[in-house]
Structure 1
Amino acid sequence: MVLLVGLGAGCEASSVVEPPESVCGTKVDRNLTKRLLEPGGRVTERNEVGHDDPQPSSWCQVFVDGNGVLSLRFAWHPDAVDPFGIAASSGSISSIGQPVRLKAAYATTVGNNGAISTARCESGSGSYFTLSVLLERSDPVDRSHRNDIEKFMRAYFPATLRTLGCA
């Protein structure tokens, strides 16, 4: 199922629009997405995530004025994974620049342009859930969004677990 959802108010692409109240089906503080969705504009998303019927892997992409800015991958699997190992492996699909492990409630790795978190989450598609977030227009060596990504993931991942009924 593919949903194209308009998240911003206003009709003109050049108008200033508030960040969305939710991202890919999970409510999030608008202040956490403001810098990630720069320069701002009309926010839409392409959401293939079925929160009520999780698939082994699904994507959600967030657009600002039609340009992809944020990609989220929702994955369920049978065994625990190490987010740092995924991010640091050569040829990793995560493309996360300069990853480091975070001290967080969940196994989490954050980098300059993305983050990965994982936790136990029972579903018909697996016993563990992993969320990968990638800031699409970000240079993997540019550290300017690293703190914003970390703040977003620290709030968004547990909120997503609650949305999925895992917390």
Structure 2
Amino acid sequence: MTGKPRASAARLSLAVLLLTGVAACGDPQEYTVPSKACDRVVSKDELGALLPSGAELSDEPWVSDNSFSCQIYVDGLTQLAFTEHSGQRKFDVSADAKSGRLGGFDQLRASDVSDNAVVSHTRSVVMAPCPKAGRNYILDLELPNAEGDHSDDIERFVRSYLPTGLAAMGC
């Protein structure tokens, strides 16, 4: 009679192993964080810190004379969006953000990325001089579907991306 419980335990162990293997095979493949977003060089580490897990990553750029926008999607949902402008008049980013003229911010604070920058849990706006193209450069970045405080990750991404954005916009 001792053979039957051992056989049952062996079958149960085999069934658990098989089910675990099937479940692992059924998990969606994780995308690879790229070193470019909308054909702009980005830090893979800094970009990856802003994006949720998922199976598919895609991006969509939009370009005009003085503007560039990039939408990054994970599994079809916008997870990161940034817009750049050159040739902009100078204004106080913090004052305009606090007044609501720049839209909504959650837990707004000054950012040390630039002398004229703010960051919140899911958004950042940075203004930097753009002497070659004239006037100023603006980078407006948002995580439209994120929850929680991502301000430190946003600042790291913006800090690493700013030289690329400035150069691409002729600054």
TM-score over 0.5 for the alignment?
Answer: yes
Displacement after TM superposition at 1:14 (Å): 2.6
1:60 aligns with 2:67: no
- Which of the two has greater strand per residue? 1
**Where does residue 36 of structure 1 map in the other structure?**
50
**Where does residue 146 of structure 2 map in the other structure?**
138
TM superposition score normalised by structure 2: 0.73
Contact 1:107 1:118 in 2 (8 A): yes
Superposed structure 1 runs of 4+ greater than 4 Å apart = none
Q: How does 1:1-167 map to 2 (within 5 A)?
A: 14-50=28-64, 54-55=65-66, 57-90=67-100, 92-93=102-103, 95-121=104-130, 122-123=132-133, 127-139=135-147, 142-143=148-149, 145-166=150-171
Quote the sequence identity (%). Answer: 24
Greater C-alpha radius of gyration: 2
- Match of 1:115, SS state, is strand
Contact 2:86 2:169 in 1 (8 A): no
The number of equivalent residue pairs is 144
Unaligned stretches of 5+ residues in structure 1: 1-12
Q: 1:70 to 1:78 in 2, by over 3 A?
A: closer
Distance (Å, rounded) in 2 between the aligned partners of 1:78 and 1:29: 26
RMSD of the alignment, in Å?
2.2
- Which of the two has greater helix per residue? 2
1:85-107 CA-to-partner distances (Å, cap 9, x unmatched) read 232223532x2211111223452
Unaligned stretches of 5+ residues in structure 2: 1-26
Distance (Å, rounded) in 1 between the aligned partners of 2:36 and 2:160: 12
Q: 1:78 to 1:70 in 2, by over 3 A?
A: closer
